[in-house]
């Protein structure tokens, strides 16, 4: 056979981050010869980042688990799928039978939302547990966005997306899309899209305690003291609605609560908030003036705004600011998608519910559920605190909460106390090493892909399906197959008797798989064959015929069709958010803030070559200088006797770590920054490269008690810490 006969080209979407870049993968036989950006992908137009190449490394990684593993007294052993699944179901069932349903907890991590099968079948498994102790990465990330959307627009996923391609003024707060590639704003090649704003005469402004990669290409960067953005937003609103008149729009008749907003913003002048935010009043006034004057403007706030003590207020106030300036649901402003597979407006069984709040509370701290989940920050205490309803067993699916949730070392201790733990995960890492079973799924290249979630959060309406590149091996299982098999077993044990109907249903779903459900969803969706019969309508077949993806056009105003509040109003002043203003006023009374001597505020950071905690086993992504360093401003460094490269010991309420220092005026004075996702030096993990680049976990410092008290989201930003020069490491003692 000639080499050319064996060569082929495969097109797919990269599933590693939210950007949905199109890839063009060349192969000789089963060997990948190149991975490049797909120039013909109408959305990403050839853009990729260095992580795309890692898809091949992940696929080949010798440390990636390929068989179910069981932990025994003498170490890990390989077991068969049937044995593992049977035993896992049996033990979970037994614990629930003896101690009640809530005795089994579940934690779902971020890669679930990048995984078609997991999204389709994961919820069934979680439902089968019938436990109220459900947790996910949502509450260490974007919960405040969902909280605000639920109360303002009636659905937790009606999250407004900045119309980056048409705006004339983009105010970016607490986001670094040039490094993160955009979040709750799927926009491949953000850098080019930001530059395009400037090229059409618009402006990009970044508000961030660090001069980030995004700040560097912006027209203006403004430092802000961590955790004070709600004040800055109130001052912008003050200028917009107290000193000026709100702009009328097609939404005006539907907006409810404007008077309340005006009253709330009345005393938050730029002058009142300046001492707390560190942003001079005239700078804030300038931002407000430019925002109001722009033909189309949008305020966009991400991680840095949701993961702070007033995260929900921030996301709410951003929506209000966009609304009262006439920029909500409008070209160039903050818009809503109409995705081909509509997880919001489609059939309930195939979508996500509107959200809920406070239907139950966590046992120990009494924190309310949102959308059926409790805050991940309470997981450890729910395991460690004795008493009825204690979590005794845990299921983790695609999550690494030991490195990703606040006070990770406490959680680590807690996992050691569990009677039983099972992880659906491809790696033996900081979290899964505590499991009794690890059930590893196929690699991303062995499965099909369609971005159910990120098409719904994208700056254009597009649709793209990717078939699997490689056939999974005979002993490999998809995430969805593992979830479905466990669900089936758990339900059978609960019933306690055989059921022909249940078996038939299980067999039917196993045959259908995610593809057929996707096809149904596409057909029923707003662009589907149901509304556009004959040739134009979307179906899976149509997407298979369009390997570069289908462009369905720029976002269109559609909120009045999409919003779901029961009273058919768009709520600018929902009660829980208005009530939370009291807490803000108490935290930031008028006048100058009290300064605690020697205290610094810790923030995180992301680097283009990282992806949360789990891609540090890819050698090409770890080349170059170590990235897990503490950024310290030169003034603070001088005061503390720190210099480039020396080690600093950082202490918070919950822990202490020692890390090398980088001295830079990229962070504002009084603020230090450490990336998250490191800390691979823990014993017993099986990720060789990651262990060699272990770094330190920032979440050994972040505090499980620091929350956005309203939503329960973790407040990573602005963790108070003390920093000192580390004791010089003792020189190695020569062997006697
Ligand atoms: N201090 C601080 N903490 C943070 C953040 C921060 O900025 N600062 N960021 C937060 C954010 S935004 C997030 S989303 C969370 C992430 O929190 P998590 O989702 O808990 O953590 P990840 O690091 O994404 O770990 C993903 C896990 O999924 C596994 N995995 C990868 N692909 C697959 C797959 O296809 N199937 C399965 N079954 N498993 C897979 C990996 O091996 C790994 O164990 O971390 C949060 N934690
Ligand atoms: N390369 C890479 N890409 C990723 C990820 C990754 O780990 N690596 N993770 C993915 C995930 S899960 C997510 S959720 C997204 C996140 O996407 P982004 O939100 O864009 O990511 P971050 O870089 O965490 O940006 C948060 C910014 O907030 C700033 N900040 C911190 N505290 C405050 C504050 O109090 N006020 C203000 N105004 N700013 C503050 C930080 O300095 C930082 O620049 O990225 C995704 N993409
Ligand atoms: S930007 Fe995100 S989607 Fe694009 S190649 Fe990089 S990791 Fe993949
Ligand atoms: Mo995230």
Determine the average pLDDT of the residues in 424-443: 98
Residue 603, helix vs strand vs coil: strand
Q: How confident is the model at residue 687 (pLDDT cuts 50, 70, 90)?
A: very high
Q: How confident is the model at residue 596 (pLDDT cuts 50, 70, 90)?
A: confident
Sign of CA dihedral 635, 639, 643, 645: negative
- For 40-63, write each residue's pLDDT tens digit: 999 999 999 999 999 999 999 999
The pLDDT of residue 137 is above 70? yes
Residues near ligand 1 (Cβ within 6 A): 109-111, 115, 137, 140-141, 303, 397-401, 404, 424-427, 429, 441, 479, 604, 612-614, 676-677, 698-699, 702, 716
Residue 145 burial (CB count, 10 A): 31
Instruction: Spell out the SS3 assignment of 159-174.
Output: CCEECCCCCCEEEEEC
Q: pLDDT above 90 covers what percent of the chain?
A: 94
Structural domains of the chain ordered from first start = 160-339 (3.40.228.10), 595-725 (2.40.40.20)
Q: pLDDT above 70 covers what percent of the chain?
A: 98
Residues near ligand 2 (Cβ within 6 A): 17-18, 110, 141, 173-177, 179-181, 183, 207-210, 212, 224, 226-227, 229, 302-305, 308, 603-608, 610-612, 677, 717-718
Q: How confident is the model at residue 730 (pLDDT cuts 50, 70, 90)?
A: low
Distance in angstroms (rounded) separating the CA atoms of residues 661 and 659:
6
- Mean pLDDT, the chain, rounded, equals 96
Q: Which atom of ligand 1 sits closest to the CA of residue 115?
A: 35
b/e 43-76 (16+ beta carbons within 10 angstroms → b): bbeebbbebbbbbbbbbebebbbebbbbbeeeeb
pLDDT (0 to 100) of residue 735 = 44
The pLDDT of residue 733 is above 60? no
The pLDDT of residue 571 is above 80? yes
pLDDT (0 to 100) of residue 4 = 55
Alpha-carbon separation of residue 216 from 73, 586, 602, 626, 635 (angstroms): 53, 35, 21, 22, 21
Sign of CA dihedral 41, 44, 48, 51: negative
- What is the whole-number distance in angstroms between the Cα of residue 182 and the centre of ligand 3? 10
The pLDDT of residue 736 is above 60? no
Distance in angstroms (rounded) separating the CA atoms of residues 585 and 587:
5
């Amino acid at each position: 056979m000639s080499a050319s006969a064996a060569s082929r080209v495969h097109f797919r979407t990269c599933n590693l981050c939210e950007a949905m870049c199109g890839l063009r993968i060349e192969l000789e036989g089963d060997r990948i010869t190149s991975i490049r950006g797909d120039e013909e992908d109408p959305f990403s137009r050839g853009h990729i980042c260095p992580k795309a190449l890692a898809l091949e490394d992940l696929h080949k990684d010798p440390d990636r688990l390929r068989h179910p593993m069981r932990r025994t007294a003498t170490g890990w052993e390989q077991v068969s799928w049937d044995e593992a699944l049977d035993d896992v179901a049996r033990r979970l069932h037994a614990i629930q039978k003896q101690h009640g349903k809530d005795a089994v907890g579940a934690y779902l991590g971020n890669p679930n939302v990048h995984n078609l099968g997991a999204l389709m079948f994961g919820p069934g498994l979680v439902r089968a547990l019938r436990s109220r102790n459900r947790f996910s990465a949502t509450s260490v990330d974007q919960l405040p966005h969902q909280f605000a959307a639920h109360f303002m627009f009636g659905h937790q996923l009606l999250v407004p997306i900045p119309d980056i391609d048409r705006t004339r003024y983009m105010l970016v707060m607490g986001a670094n899309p040039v490094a993160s590639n955009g979040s709750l704003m799927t926009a491949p090649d953000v850098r080019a899209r930001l530059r395009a704003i400037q090229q059409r005469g618009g402006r990009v402004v970044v508000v961030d305690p660090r001069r980030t990669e995004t700040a560097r290409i912006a027209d203006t960067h403004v430092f802000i003291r961590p955790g004070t953005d709600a004040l800055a937003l109130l001052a912008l609103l003050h200028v917009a609605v107290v000193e000026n008149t709100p702009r009328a729009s097609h939404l005006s008749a539907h907006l409810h609560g404007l008077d309340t907003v005006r009253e709330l913003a009345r005393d938050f002048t730029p002058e009142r908030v300046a001492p707390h935010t560190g942003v001079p009043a005239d700078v804030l006034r300038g931002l407000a003036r430019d925002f109001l004057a722009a033909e189309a403007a949008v305020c966009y706030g991400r991680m840095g705004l949701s993961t702070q003590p007033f995260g929900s207020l921030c996301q709410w106030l951003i929506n209000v600011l966009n609304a009262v300036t006439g920029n909500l649901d409008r070209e160039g402003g903050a818009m809503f998608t109409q995705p081909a597979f509509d997880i919001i407006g489609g059939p309930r069984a195939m979508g996500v519910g509107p959200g809920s709040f406070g239907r139950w509370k966590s046992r120990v701290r009494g924190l309310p559920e949102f959308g059926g989940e409790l805050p991940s920050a309470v997981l450890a205490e729910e395991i460690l605190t004795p008493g009825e309803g204690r979590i005794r067993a845990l299921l983790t699916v695609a999550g690494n909460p030991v490195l990703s949730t606040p006070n990770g070392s406490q959680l680590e201790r807690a996992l050691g106390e569990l009677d039983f733990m099972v992880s659906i995960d491809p790696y033996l890492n900081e979290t899964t090493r505590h499991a009794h079973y690890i059930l590893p799924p196929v690699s991303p290249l062995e499965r099909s892909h369609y971005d159910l979630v990120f098409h719904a959060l994208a700056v254009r309406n597009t649709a793209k399906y990717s078939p699997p590149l490689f056939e999974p091996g005979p002993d490999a299982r998809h995430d969805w197959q593992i979830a479905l098999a466990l669900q089936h077993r758990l339900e059978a044990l609960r019933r306690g008797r055989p059921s022909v109907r249940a078996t038939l249903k299980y067999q039917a779903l196993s045959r259908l798989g995610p593809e057929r459900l996707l096809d149904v969803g596409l057909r029923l969706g707003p662009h589907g064959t149901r509304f556009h019969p004959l040739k134009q309508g979307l179906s899976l077949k149509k997407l298979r015929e369009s390997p570069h993806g289908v462009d369905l056009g720029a976002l269109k105003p559609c909120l009045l069709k999409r919003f779901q509040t029961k009273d058919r109003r768009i709520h600018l002043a929902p009660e829980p958010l208005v009530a939370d203003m009291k807490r803000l006023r108490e935290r930031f009374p008028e006048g100058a803030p009290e300064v605690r001597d020697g205290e610094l505020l810790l923030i995180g950071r992301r680097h283009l070559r990282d992806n949360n905690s789990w891609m540090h086993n890819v050698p090409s992504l770890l080349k170059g200088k170590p990235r897990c360093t503490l950024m310290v401003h030169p003034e603070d460094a001088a005061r503390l006797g720190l210099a480039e490269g020396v080690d600093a010991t950082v202490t918070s309420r919950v822990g202490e770590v020692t890390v090398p220092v980088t001295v830079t005026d990229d962070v504002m004075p009084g603020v230090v920054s450490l990336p998250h996702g490191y800390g691979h030096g823990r014993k017993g993990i099986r990720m060789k490269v990651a262990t060699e680049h272990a770094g330190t976990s920032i979440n050994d410092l972040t505090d499980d008690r620091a929350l956005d008290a309203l939503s329960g989201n973790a407040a990573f930003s602005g963790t108070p810490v003390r920093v000192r020069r580390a004791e010089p490491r003792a020189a190695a003692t020569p062997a006697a």
